[in-house]
Amino acid sequence: MKQPRLDPAAEGAIDWMVRLSAGNTDTALQAQFDLWLASDPSHAQAWKRLQERLGGACQTVRSLDRRAPGQAGEARRVLLQPTTSRRDLLRSIAALGVLGGGLWLGARSQMGEALLADLRTGRGERRNFTLADGSRLSLNAGSAVDLQFDAQQRLLILRQGSLLIQVAADPARPLHVRSAQGDVRALGTRFLVSQEAHATRVVVLEHSVRARLPDGAELDIHEGHAALLHPQRIEALSDDQRHRADWLNGRLNVLDDSLQAVVEALRPYYRGFVRVEPEVRGLRVQGVFPLDEPQRAFAALAETLPVRVEHYSPWLTLIRAKNPS
């Protein structure tokens, strides 16, 4: 059975509710919210609907609290405290029926895990974070990470997308990044991890890391080197992969990738659906493309490759072979 999912307007409304309730709203943030609210009628509708439902939920919690403080106390704490995390807030709302059972069921899907992640970025959004240990984390667009930091461990779980982290030294607690395929351990280093469709890409920018699969297979990856973590093997890559960190500066730097891989890298920056016809997916691409202007990137692909890019609406783009002249 297909999992229900939130529409983009509802997801955006949740994002803004979390940001505005964090207790540090300033004039600039308020202006950004006002701009988002006015940019599309669906945004205002989603915001109104969420506020109406959240208001009702808060009232329900207060009523429950009077009747059964032990049962309602945790939900009340999560909903009413200004320091609520995104994950706890969404889970509490869903448990109270604010967004319906679909969201709670959807939390078991990849989309749900990303929606409930501790740190995430939306479409076309890159963000930088300073973690509790002083490590500096950057997320590419469409990325999601969960954090598990305590006295014994520093663990980042990459749910989707790409991260780049400058790790703060802590000999007692080596930092780990976990992906769908395995684990990357680092100490005082800078490296990139990307969750791809069937593998995890690791690129070491400074010092070294140790990649490990669930079956115990390991590989040390040193500065300037990279590897792909597959479900049952680690593939060391011979070419320099450090250009893959150029998304930090809004660039997609391609040395020799397939057209399909280039389109996948552009997807988190493009609002519509893009289909690449099978006969051109393997075409090799070189060049530097602007991530923040995906339409320009598609136009450049059409100029340099034997393909045509057809826009059928703002939401549908097809890339196919050019007709013979």
pLDDT in tens, 287-300: 999 999 999 999 99
Residue at 316 is within a domain: yes
Range from 30-44, 184-198, 297-311 carrying the lowest mean pLDDT? 30-44
Question: Are 31 and 62 in the same domain?
Answer: yes
* Domain final residue, candidates 116, 146, 163: 116
Pairing of strands 316-321, 273-276: parallel
Write down the pLDDT at residue 30: 77
Res. 87 pLDDT band, cuts 50 70 90: low
Q: Which of 37, 4, 6 is nearest to 19 (CA)?
A: 37
Q: Determine the average pLDDT of the residues in 254-274.
A: 92
CATH code of the domain covering residue 260 = 3.55.50.30
Res. 234 pLDDT band, cuts 50 70 90: very high
Residue at 2 is within a domain: no
Angle at 230 between CA 248 and CA 221, to 5 degrees: 60
Range of the domain at 106: 8-116
* Domain final residue, candidates 89, 116, 143: 116
Question: Are 238 and 254 in the same domain?
Answer: no
Question: Are 176 and 279 in the same domain?
Answer: no
* Domain final residue, candidates 71, 89, 116: 116
pLDDT tens digits, one per residue of 94-148:
544 444 444 444 444 455 556 677 898 988 999 999 999 999 999 999 999 999 9
pLDDT tens digits, one per residue of 17-31:
766 654 455 677 777
Angle at 111 between CA 52 and CA 97, to 5 degrees: 30
Q: Which of 123, 152, 105, 136 is nearest to 11 (CA)?
A: 123
DSSP for residue 142: T
Res. 187 pLDDT band, cuts 50 70 90: confident
Write down the pLDDT at residue 88: 52
Res. 239 pLDDT band, cuts 50 70 90: confident
Write down the pLDDT at residue 32: 85
* Number of domains within the chain: 3
